[in-house]
Structure 1
Amino acid sequence: MKPPPAAVEFLQQNGWNDAHISPVAGDASFRRYFRVQDGERVAILMDAPPPHEDPKPFIDIAEYLVGAGFAAPAIFARDLDQGLVLLEDFGDQRMREHLDDHPEDEDAIYRRVIDLLRDLHKAPAAALPPYDEAQYLREVNLLTEWYCPAQQLDVDTEGFEAIWRQILAPVIAGQKPPVTVMRDYHAENIMLLEDGRLGLLDFQDALMGHPAYDLVSMLQDARRDVPDELEENMLGYYLADHDAEAASEFRSHYAILGAQRNTKIIGIFVRLCMRDGKQRYLDFLPRMWSLLEKDLLHPALAPVAKWFDQNIPIGVRSRPMPASKEAK
């Protein structure tokens, strides 16, 4: 992975004249990341090339989070025309790998990430677009737009959207006042910093929405198995200050948003394979179906569960996905 052509000049213009540039792990988007070292100084170079990416939302949310007292990367330099941003380097100690090596820390670290969410939800929401019905529906429709055609399924798309409108209505009513929703709050986007704080990454798609969304993103992690007992314990921990009625309503919204998110991710992972040739994302589909099926057991999701049973039966969900011709 080579740095973009404009990287050297960008770094020189911002005082990193003798910087060594090396690649670091990227994500599912067009963004790429490089570690920059100049003597004792270290930073991360984000390459978010226009028109595919716009780094300004990341910068805006990073500055909001820092201003609210959270650990988001400081912005050292930016060139929005080139899509280049020089960021604070949070190191390599991700929550995911730490827990792989130290499973005994699981309960304590998950309590910390839940504490962070509780603090974030007490802060005034960032000035962001709302997580509204149109956005929720665009996301769940990724299943019928990508997964179903890939599996050669002829499904009731109009009925699917109508059911989701019905199911999401109480969730949308319940996100007032809204909170900042980072939308990708999971173990691979949490850094364990040397000063003891939790570093936040990958929040450029943030919206104003429901407090259950980031909670379900963390506890129903698309890339890491979270034991059912741990999920229940952490959900109970988050709800410790809710009365019984409020906790019951929150759990209902949590299940609905879990089903919404997991439905969306199934569609996204198939799109990454079929459109972008990233076949490795199909490896996550069994976990995603398992999470979705667990959410569909909640009584609030009975109409959605019925639609899935009629349109994508259990046997179809476990059927291997055809590989993309461009898969690599």
Structure 2
Amino acid sequence: MQDTCEMPDLRTAFIADNFFTLPEAKELPADASPRRYYRLEMVPKLLMEVKPGSPDFEAFVSISRYLNDIGLSAPRVFHHDLAKGLALIEDFGEATFTRLLAAGRSETELYTLAVDALVRLHEAELAPPESVPAYDFGPLNDELHMFTRWYVPQCAPEVDAEEFEEIFLDAWRMALSEVAECRDVLVLRDYHVDNLMVVEGRKGAAACGLLDFQDGVLGSAAYDLVSLTQDARRELTPGLEEQLLEHYLARRPGVDRQRFRCEYWLLAAHRHTKLLGNFERLSKRDGKHGYLVFIPHVQSLLSRALREAGLEDIRTLMDRHLPRWATHQPVHPQTADAHQKVQAT
């Protein structure tokens, strides 16, 4: 944490421009994103800091406004400076779903609230901002690259990763051909308990606080439901996933149930493939090694999703070229260093 006198001049000046008395600013714990947050003491606001010129900054501002306009709760942006990468935003407090679940709050209650917020988002009459990009082959392929470029070298270092990537992406391109054309709803992309909060004093879907939406895209309504119900970080109580899926479909009777379930499992397989690569990337590139602990759970989720989605060709391809993909146990870099030192002695 940092107090005001330790903050860089740019941040201090930005805060001073918005308050008569300079409040103390305490840095909040970092997550997987490159953004940093500071809680301003005595005022219900956060200072958000991003890399100046970051393309997702404008998206954060516009999507936040949109979500609030349709009756949902995203942190309102009170003041921002795109060139400096700084913004004063609404502070929802500490009540993330993750903390509430750890404190014994009803899992069914919280997850149902999150599904109801998705229904509100997906039934909104107001169109998303025109600047929101499509979830087409561009981002879909970029996410698969995380797997081929970060996970494959770890689970199968003997494999020519570039050669495997070519045939792997070809197989996925066929599988994703229809969903890559889908522009049904605004997809928030990281819709899970770490990025959801209970906002006290608000009712209905507005009681669900939404975080981390600046990477939003236009795509399938099934994606965020998958992100919620097949969480890489925690297992749901048996039966709850299907209960939530049925709750969502009951709230949207006009949805083609068969198509939705097909997209649900297809996008589940794609998302878990991406996450295996992303968690290795976060460790190897960014030094965020805590994400490695989730890999065995994601391996299990991916195995199930490939089966449910009927992606036998992709499963066969992975089994043939990456025989250890489903059992690879990532090694924490500090453990590897310690092992090497022991061997050296």
Give TM-score, length-normalised by structure 1: 0.91
Contact 1:274/1:323, CA 8 A, preserved across alignment: no
Q: Which runs of 4+ in 1 moved over 6 A?
A: 242-245, 325-328
Q: 1:102 aligns with which of 97, 101, 104?
A: 104
Deviations 1:232-279 (A, max 9, x none): 111111122667992122111101101111111111111111111221
Contact 1:277/1:325, CA 8 A, preserved across alignment: no
Match of 2:196 in 1: 190
Q: 1:161 aligns with which of 151, 169, 173?
A: 169
Say if 2:10 is the partner of 1:10: no
Task: Mark the CA change 1:299 to 1:204 in structure 2 (over 3 Å): closer, same or farther.
Answer: closer
Q: CA deviation at 1:91?
A: 0.5
What one-letter code is carried by the residue in structure 1 that aligns with 2:190? D
SS at 1:310 equivalent: helix
RMSD: 2.3
Match of 2:272 in 1: 262
Match of 2:49 in 1: 47
Q: Distance in 2 between matches of 1:243 and 1:89?
A: 35
Deviations 1:183-210 (A, max 9, x none): 1111111111111411111101001111
Q: 2:329 aligns with which of 314, 317, 320?
A: 320
Contact 2:188/2:214, CA 8 A, preserved across alignment: yes
Contact 1:11/1:17, CA 8 A, preserved across alignment: no
Q: 2:80 aligns with which of 78, 92, 96?
A: 78
Match of 1:67 in 2: 69
SS at 2:248 equivalent: helix
Say if 2:288 is the partner of 1:278: yes
SS at 2:100 equivalent: helix
What one-letter code is carried by the residue in structure 1 that aligns with 2:73? A
Say if 2:46 is the partner of 1:37: no
Deviations 1:82-136 (A, max 9, x none): 2111111100001111112225x11122111111111101114412110001211
Task: Mark the CA change 1:153 to 1:193 in structure 2 (over 3 Å): closer, same or farther.
Answer: farther
What is the percentage of aligned positions where both structures have the same residue?
37
Q: Distance in 2 between matches of 1:250 and 1:191?
A: 26
What one-letter code is carried by the residue in structure 2 that aligns with 1:191? M
Q: CA deviation at 1:224?
A: 2.0
Structure 1 gaps of 5+ residues are: none
Contact 1:53/1:83, CA 8 A, preserved across alignment: no
What one-letter code is carried by the residue in structure 1 that aligns with 2:296? P
Which stretch shows the higher mean deviation, 178-187 or 51-60?
A: 51-60
Deviations 1:43-83 (A, max 9, x none): 11111123567522111110111111111111122122221
Deviations 1:275-295 (A, max 9, x none): 112211111111111111110
Contact 2:306/2:315, CA 8 A, preserved across alignment: yes
Q: Distance in 2 between matches of 1:53 and 1:141?
A: 21
Match of 1:238 in 2: 248
SS at 1:180 equivalent: strand
Task: Mark the CA change 1:16 to 1:221 in structure 2 (over 3 Å): closer, same or farther.
Answer: farther
SS at 1:169 equivalent: coil
What one-letter code is carried by the residue in structure 2 that aligns with 1:180? L
Structure 2 gaps of 5+ residues are: 338-345
Q: CA deviation at 1:13?
A: 0.6
Task: Mark the CA change 1:312 to 1:16 in structure 2 (over 3 Å): closer, same or farther.
Answer: farther
**1:72-221 equivalent positions in 2, closer than 5 A:** 72-103=74-105, 105-123=106-124, 124-126=126-128, 127=130, 128-151=132-155, 152-154=157-159, 156-173=164-181, 175-176=182-183, 178-196=184-202, 197-221=207-231
Q: CA deviation at 1:17?
A: 2.5
Give TM-score, length-normalised by structure 2: 0.87
SS at 1:90 equivalent: coil
Q: Distance in 2 between matches of 1:245 and 1:70?
A: 21
Q: Distance in 2 between matches of 1:42 and 1:58?
A: 19
Q: Distance in 1 between matches of 2:251 and 2:199?
A: 28
The count of aligned residue pairs is: 322
Q: CA deviation at 1:16?
A: 5.1
Match of 2:343 in 1: none
Q: CA deviation at 1:157?
A: 1.8
Contact 2:26/2:39, CA 8 A, preserved across alignment: yes
Contact 2:197/2:209, CA 8 A, preserved across alignment: yes
